[in-house]
Chain A
Amino acid sequence: MSAPIIKCDHVSKRYPNGFLALENVTVDLYPGEIHALLGENGAGKSTLMNILYGVHEPTGGGLLLNGREVRHTRPGDAIANGIGMVHQHFKLVMPFTVAENLALVAKGAARARLRRHADVRTFMAEFGIELDPGAVLGDLPLALQQRVEILKALVNESRILLLDEPSTILAPSEVGALYDTLRRIRDRGTAVAVVTHNVDEVLANADRYTVLRRGRTVGTGHIAGADADALVELIVGRSVATGSRIGPYRTGGEPRLVLAGVSIRPGRGSPGLSNVDLELRAGEVVGVAGVEGNGQTELFELLAGQRLPDQGRITLPKAVALVPQDRHHEGLSLDLPVSQNLLYSEIMRRRYRRAGLLDHAAIGNRAEAMIEAADIRTRSHATPARALSGGNQQKIVLARAMAEDAPVIAVYQPTRGLDVAAAEAVLARLAEAADRGTTVVMISSNIEELIRVSDRIVVLNGGRVTGEVSGAGMVIEKIGPLMTRAVAPGKEGVAHG
């Protein structure tokens, strides 16, 4: 092989909030290859893409273009150096036509080359794409919008094409056509880098791979001779030092919440949900595992009653208590006191009113009791929630959800951003709730804690349930492949211990 066209040379990136997203990462991209960047969420794949494309600047190391050091401080720099990017959330102007979207990005010679609709057709045909140049983007299906996003990245004779999770929004049947297009692009001598978490897709289509885990390169090599199991292990890591099991395995009682053939259309960089069957029973913890952005948000919104399925049926109980993913926006009113945050789902009840007005003494007493029980560290119940640490804020949200005494409690990334002790406390409370007969649904990208607290785990991948494991069968070796490998419909993996 010739020299790399671009090299990320010992790149590190620390965000202003102190998070180290990339640490000493080196990746070479060669002309005429499809290079897969594999990893879980938070592994640093998107950060690496954004550094190449000039959205972020590295805090250590640099970029070498044909061996010469270059700096990309904004996307314009990257474009000028022949880099095109296909974003997960398309950067398309939806009311514009295909031709207008292409014209928008075209520079100099390319602009002249795309003047007429016939020229645009010729340009698209070079990549085997047939589209009406006059079609309005917003009217096209997602897979075709993605083709336009790809074409846009190629308009200015790009030598390097970056794609961020291009397959997540596609139906399995559409992925092949995407790679047909990418192979045509590769065969013109372009370096194609694809971010994905799907091992089978990579094995079937890529030439080389690099695996990132927690901001570091953990493996790189040629696809020829690569082994699926080894790749999965590189991505999710070895099953080392999983903490101990919290409580015994429970078997659920009567069904409380049922999804039957539920589908939600894909959109906004998400695969939606397709044909999900799920039965949640009394007194069990059901974990939902998966790489983020594989339908988890849609599932939570369904459970929360925030949206209806496009297809299929969902049977919800009278109430579902919620611990949303984004506690700062959906879980708390940061400037209200702890007491009101704890009670705002029940504050309208008669016992908190006197002569039609809020009885602040009663509210305060109740809040004090909850603060005590949930071990929330705050100066007083009148302190604004903003003043508390993340862990204590999450305890407020959780305590409120518990206090609702709803038959089902749905939690989404409940331990994100918490320190170990706070996370342990959250998991323990969830286990207690299930012991009391509550149905607990826990959506998380942290497999380890799912294994420790769940009675069974269903895996979401590409908006589909790719498998379910339960009891002692809940091990990372079984869950990892379900998260990262294509599973044909009807052949879902089931493991029970």
Chain B
Amino acid sequence: MDFDAVTIALFLAAGVRLCLPVALAALGEAVSERAGVFTIGLEGLMLFGAVASAVGLAMTGSPLMALVIGTGGGAAAAFVLALGTVLARANQIVMGIGFNLLAIGATSLIRQLVLTNAPPTGSLRTVTMMKLPWLADLPVVGRAFFSQSPVFYLAVVIAVLLWAMLRYSRLGLVLRAVGENAAATDAAGLPVLPIRMGAAVFTGVMAGLGGATLCIVASGGTFVDNMTAGRGYLAIAIAIFARWKPVRVMLVAFVLGLLEALQFQGQYLGIQIATPLLMAAPFVVALIAWIAIGRAGAAPADLGRPFLRGELR
């Protein structure tokens, strides 16, 4: 096999494109898990984000507005989910799975009721491609990383900001403390439940943006039933596998994106692996991540444990 620069650049670029929705959701999941909230409902949040963005596109005709509305849809759905998992202390796993099942039906219903017309045929160019001046002209990496959707640049900025927030800011300290020892944080007079609510809604923002990106940037603005197809679960696995570190989340997601890209570009690269195997690859990696959590010493100690003051520990 012989690789030329263009093939490799296109392969890398495809990896970035494919990982973007998952990476965004995984960043959100990392934050909520750091705060002790296991957002199993991530898949559903992405779906709500996707359908909201499709509705937004139909209503406004603006892809940018569609992304904003999709993000808002994810946040609103996350707020409702968090009312159950955080405030009402419902079992986070059961509630999350139920929420995901609900999301499949609810988003399909919204599609049938609202999205009856064909999607607007206007240009989505503004959100699919933004060449960064100078950087885009670099060989290989220019085409791979600097001729991407503006959402990708936003994701990188968010990842770096989250890293700095978690590591250096007071908000990050408090957020991590809530996830490690909610009772201690409460005893320090800090508001455990509002912080967890905030983290859960932020996860909705990121999952909503991820779903909107999937719909608007990656799928030409068309919402298809259950179009996330397990990406939410994959994002959860990525967050865990990356040890809840935002920059690592981006890297792990990118590697999985490359695995997915092999499905489409493997033949150009001369790799002969059965497509079904390639399609399964990201999920196999996710399975390994799930096994890894079993011996994850670094997992937030209060992850998945609802907080109730005065509860014996």
A interface residue numbers (CB < 8 A to B): 55-56, 74-76, 79-80, 85, 87, 89-96, 100, 103-105, 107, 111, 152
User: In whole Å, how far is A13's beta carbon from the nearest beta carbon of chain B?
Assistant: 13
Q: Which residues of A contact B176 (CB under 8 A)?
A: 93, 96
Cβ-closest chain A residue relative to B191: A76
Cβ-closest chain B residue relative to A53: B187
| 5 closest Cβ pairs, A-B complex | A76-B189, A91-B184, A105-B188, A91-B187, A79-B189
B102 at the interface (CB under 8 A from A): no
Q: Which residues of B contact A95 (CB under 8 A)?
A: 180, 298, 301
The CA-CA distance from A360 to B208 in the complex, in Å, is 56
Q: Can you name 26 A-B pairs with beta carbons within 8 Å?
A: A56-B310, A74-B309, A75-B186, A76-B189, A76-B190, A87-B187, A89-B313, A90-B184, A91-B181, A91-B183, A91-B184, A91-B187, A93-B176, A93-B177, A95-B301, A96-B173, A96-B176, A96-B180, A100-B173, A104-B173, A104-B174, A104-B177, A104-B185, A105-B189, A107-B189, A111-B170
Q: Which residues of B contact A89 (CB under 8 A)?
A: 313
Binding site secondary structure of chain B? helix
Q: Once the chains bind, are A96 and B187 in contact (CB under 8 Å)?
A: no
Q: Once the chains bind, are A75 and B187 in contact (CB under 8 Å)?
A: yes
Q: Once the chains bind, are A91 and B188 in contact (CB under 8 Å)?
A: yes
Q: Once the chains bind, are B313 and A93 in contact (CB under 8 Å)?
A: no
Q: Which residues of B contact A92 (CB under 8 A)?
A: 181, 184
The CA-CA distance from A89 to B187 in the complex, in Å, is 12
The CA-CA distance from A87 to B190 in the complex, in Å, is 17
Q: Once the chains bind, are A94 and B180 in contact (CB under 8 Å)?
A: yes
Q: Once the chains bind, are A103 and B189 in contact (CB under 8 Å)?
A: no
User: In whole Å, how far is B309's beta carbon from the nearest beta carbon of chain A?
Assistant: 7
Q: Which residues of A contact B187 (CB under 8 A)?
A: 75, 85, 87, 91
Cβ-closest chain A residue relative to B189: A76
CB contact list, B158-205 vs A, under 8 A: 170, 173-174, 176-177, 180-181, 183-190
CB contact list, B128-166 vs A, under 8 A: none
The CA-CA distance from A73 to B188 in the complex, in Å, is 14
The CA-CA distance from A152 to B190 in the complex, in Å, is 14
Q: Which residues of B contact A87 (CB under 8 A)?
A: 187
CB contact list, B281-313 vs A, under 8 A: 298, 301, 309-310, 313
Q: Which residues of B contact A85 (CB under 8 A)?
A: 187
Q: Once the chains bind, are B170 and A103 in contact (CB under 8 Å)?
A: yes
Instruction: For the A-B complex with A75-B186, A80-B189, A93-B180 known, give 18 more contacts whose Cβ atoms are closer than 8 Å.
Output: A76-B189, A87-B187, A89-B313, A91-B183, A91-B184, A91-B188, A92-B181, A93-B176, A93-B177, A93-B181, A93-B185, A94-B180, A94-B181, A95-B298, A96-B176, A96-B180, A104-B188, A105-B188
Q: Which residues of A contact B310 (CB under 8 A)?
A: 55-56
User: In whole Å, how far is A275's beta carbon from the nearest beta carbon of chain B?
Assistant: 29
The CA-CA distance from A92 to B183 in the complex, in Å, is 9
Q: Which residues of B contact A111 (CB under 8 A)?
A: 170
Cβ-closest chain A residue relative to B298: A95
